[in-house]
Structure 1
Amino acid sequence: MSYVGPDFDPPQPRRPRRGPLTVALAALVPGALIGWFVYEAVGSPGGGSSAHASSASTGSSVSPTSTASNDDKPPGPSPLKGKVVVIDPGHNVTNFQHTAEINRKVDIGTNWKECDTTGTSTNAGYSEAQFTMDVSHRLKAILEKQGVTVKLTHDTGSPSWGPCVDQRARIGNDAHADAALSIHADGAPAGDRGFHVILPASVHAGGADTRAIVGPSAVLGRGIASNYRRVTGEPFSNYVGDGTGLDTRKDLGGLNLSTVPKVFIECGNMRDGKDAALLTNGAWRQKAAQGISEGIVSFLES
């Protein structure tokens, strides 16, 4: 055997030399692996998980700890948008200064009647015209908040008197109103209490023809009577309507000449002490407007 001493190693097989590309890959792979592990541990640059990063890349704002809410959606259009209501505040505070004008007769189909009247008042001097204008403004504000278009037949200071009953009806007709209401308060003897709603009778005479509106006006009137009583607590009239709170008439120009569903409401008796105490109270008048509005809205939604 040949001797192999400590200072002598046998010759080893020669290894092939590494090329430049091999060296580069060997350096990059460990770095890439380290970076991937760090990314998975820490998360995306936005601080979320890889799932969050995927959502962010698609533009989604939903995170793992939150869900979409309907509260963020803008409110839809009011179901009453486009509906038109005409409110007719009974009488005018300055009618008493224009007696010649308001006493002029106008044709209401069944007969001729005064253009308008002064209305009544409480014993303390609070006029029906003041009451009707106040309730009309309150009612208008409530309905407009629900998307309804509201028109008044007249407003404070304009016109200076009237308008005549035939013109009041025409305003509702020209507006193609979905509903029209004339607001009043009664002047019956003391002891007569409560409210009533006046419905149009079936009239077909002269320039009056209510046949098409009798049915829908009755629906409107019943809805107003029911809601007004519930909200205000005011009882049905004890002197008109036989306890039903409804009365049908054919001698009112504002109803006879209307071509749209229309009713009158006598909100209470100004000459009765108990009713007068309510009619002169602002908080109660707000209830009156609320009750009327709920009746109108129920009709518009039907």
Structure 2
Amino acid sequence: MAFRLKIAALPLAAAILFAGAASAAELRPSTVVSGNTVTLGDLFTDAGDAANVIVADAPAPGAALDISVSRLSLAARRNGIAWRNTTSLTHVTVTRSGVAVPEAEVSAAIASAIAAQTPSLLSTTKLQIDYTTGTSGVQVGEEAERTVKVEQLAFNPRNGAFDAFVRAPANDLSAAPRRVSGRAYPVTDVPVLVRDIAPGDIVRAQDVQWIRLPSDRVSNNIVTTEGGLIGMSPRYPVRTGEPLRMSDMQPPVVVAKGATVDMNYVSGALTLLARGRALQSGAVGDTIDIVNPRSNRTVQGIVEGPNVVRIDTMGGSRIGELKS
């Protein structure tokens, strides 16, 4: 009788061991993978010898995929994983890790593709790329090259809308193309001031920074070069960050009205120097009137520097005016 009890106890012991195995494996409600596939070991704790069994392709880097629990339960049973759905899960979310391709790289590829497809765009045209989602969101695997290639492109030149499929990395034919969309439009880089400047102040190189504006907002009289600002002085008070018109700026005044100036006249070997009084203010290159205090006669001179003018005249009468 005792022998029979021992025999009967064996199935019960096996059942207890099996129950212990069933409780050992647990299904993760979410997991992160880094490779191209999803395995039972990614999804179950203590998957044992079945850990390397592939159950699905991984999503694109940075993307997520839902896998039904019924599918995973079947795969688990077929591969000897004893598991029970005690938490009533319906799906498992698998996210693939990735690193973002620099947005400048994505935008440059799209801008280049648009330019190649649109002959009306000048070769010097710069395109601003704005994405519908705010960012391109293109990612690659952690060890992959951070490059991108435009596979397909639809572009509407009237409103700038584009829809593109890009592959990342650029040369990885196994990488699924990813869709990005947004708007592309021509832009112009414009120099602006980093501080408020008043008339009489001279703009220095450190006072200038660049901003990018839609080209249709940049009229022909807007300053678009550093040379239009550096060394110049505003006619009116100007504010930080505002695009400036050419008419807003002028060379700095180096001769003030009423100032005593040196008048230089050179003609061949003849050089005459005299002092006069400026009747007008002027910047370098301006022509102003100067009165000779001795003769009380007025001549015109070209401003060459601070309180220095050059007299360009012909004839003895003018020379006499300068001598008098």
The TM-score range, normalised by the shorter chain, is under 0.3
Structure with more strand by fraction = 2
Greater relative contact order: 1 or 2 (C-alpha under 8 angstroms, separation 6 or more)? 1
> TM-score, normalised on structure 1?
0.19
Structure (1 or 2) with the greater helix fraction? 1
